[in-house]
Amino acid sequence: MANRGNNLYSFETLVKYFFDLKDIRTEKFPPLRGASAPGAEKTEVKSVSIPKLAGHLENVCIYTFVATDDADVHIVKTGIETYEKIKKQVYVIGQDVDILVLLTAITPDYIDVLMLKESKGKVKDRCYSSKDLQNSNIVIECTKKKSILLVHAISGCDTTSGFYGK
């Protein structure tokens, strides 16, 4: 998602807006097992170079950052930095629990960054507050909010929390 003023744009909308059809590579993939009846048509998937899209977005004054490694830490830090610059509510949009854990652990107490977890399947959109999470029982019982990183890493959810700050 990209943000320009009060408008949020999906990746698909941005691709359609900034690229001619000749710029989009079309590939055909077989359907997933059990997803459709045997002999069903192949699904078309369109892909675009991320750096190329980022270049087009920057040409129209939309800030972009292309992560070359795990983007979770970059997403959270960008949310915090943006809040400190504009002093208005900031939403971080994502699916990953690591983003939620990092928001809880590294967001300063005086900042409240919201995470919008987009709907997936039957689960609807959910919004989480870094302040509410920092004040929740699990974080209070950990005595230090950064120990939530250790708890998350030990649980085996992902390695981001285990390597944060190293």
23 DSSP assignment: G
Number of independent structural domains in the chain: 1
Contacts of 20 (CB under 8 A, 6+ apart): none
pLDDT at res. 29:
42
Instruction: Answer yes or no: is 40 within a domain.
Output: no
How far, CA to CA in Å, does 103 sit from each of 7, 29, 72, 83, 127? 24, 36, 10, 13, 13
Compute and round to an integer the Cα radius of gyration of the chain: 19
Q: pLDDT 10s digit of each residue in the chain, 166 long?
A: 444 444 455 555 655 665 554 444 444 444 444 444 445 444 444 556 677 777 877 887 777 777 777 788 888 888 899 899 988 888 887 777 888 888 888 888 888 888 888 777 787 888 888 888 777 765 555 555 556 665 666 666 554 444 444 4
Instruction: Answer yes or no: is 102 within a domain.
Output: yes
Instruction: Answer yes or no: is 118 within a domain.
Output: yes
Instruction: Answer yes or no: is 76 within a domain.
Output: yes
At 166, which amino acid appears? K
Instruction: Answer yes or no: is 2 within a domain.
Output: no
pLDDT at res. 166:
46
This prediction's pTM: 0.54
Helices 11-18, 50-59: inter-axial angle, 10-degree rounding? 70
Domain that holds residue 145: 69-156
pLDDT at res. 44:
47
Instruction: Answer yes or no: is 73 within a domain.
Output: yes
Instruction: Answer yes or no: is 81 within a domain.
Output: yes
Instruction: Answer yes or no: is 98 within a domain.
Output: yes
pLDDT at res. 153:
63
